[in-house]
Amino acid sequence: MEEQEIWKNVLGDIELQISKPNFLTWLKNSQLVGLNKKEGVVMVGLPNNFAKEWVKSRYHKLILTSIRNLDGSIKNIDYVVINSSHVGIDDKKITPTPERGTPQSSLIDVKVDPKTNLNPKYSLKNYIVGSSNELATAAAQAIIKNIGKKYNPLFIYGGVGLGKTHLLQATGNEIINHYKGSVSVLYISSEKFINDVVWALRNKRTDDMKKKYRDIDVLIIDDIQFIGGKAATEQEFFYTFNTLYENNKQIIISSDRPPTAIPTLEERLRSRFEGGMIADITYPDYEMRLAILKTKAQNQSIFIEDSILEQIASKVQRNMRELEGVFNKVVFYEQYKNQKIDSKKLDEIIGEAIQITPKNITAGDIIRIVAEFFEVPMADMTNKSRKQEIVEPRQIAMFLMRDVLKLSFPHIGEKLGKRDHTTAIHACEKISQEATRNPSLNQKIMLIKERLYKV
Ligand code: ADP
Ligand code: MG
**Residues 227-279: tens digit of each pLDDT:** 877 788 888 888 888 889 999 999 999 998 888 877 777 888 889 999 999 99
Q: What's residue 179's pLDDT?
A: 95
Domains of the chain, start order: 3-109 (3.30.300.180), 134-281 (3.40.50.300), 286-353 (1.10.8.60), 363-452 (1.10.1750.10)
170 lines ligand 1 (CB under 6 A): no
pLDDT at residue 417 is higher than 70? yes
| Pocket perturbation via mutation, ligand 1, pick of 137, 253, 320 by most ligand atoms within 8 A of CB | 320
161 lines ligand 1 (CB under 6 A): yes
Q: What's residue 310's pLDDT?
A: 96
163 lines ligand 1 (CB under 6 A): yes
- 298-310 pLDDT, tens digit per residue, is 988 889 999 999 9
CA nearest ligand 1 atom 1, residue: 161
Question: Are 366 and 452 spatial neighbours (Cβ–Cβ below 8 Å)?
Answer: yes
343-353 vs 320-331: helix axis angle to the nearest 10? 130
Q: What's residue 431's pLDDT?
A: 92
Q: What's residue 87's pLDDT?
A: 37
- 58-92 pLDDT, tens digit per residue, is 889 889 988 887 777 888 999 988 764 333 333 33
Q: What residues pack around ion ligand 2 (CB closer than 5 A)?
A: 164-165
Q: Distance between CA 379 and CA 357 in Å, rounded?
A: 24
Q: Distance between CA 399 and CA 445 in Å, rounded?
A: 9
Nearest to 77 by CA among 6, 1, 137: 6
| Rounded distance from Cα 139 to ligand 2 centre (Å) | 18
293 lines ligand 1 (CB under 6 A): no
Task: Tell how far CA 417 is from the center of its chain.
Answer: 31
- Write the single-letter amino acid at 323: L
pLDDT band at 105 (very low <50, low <70, confident <90, very high): very low
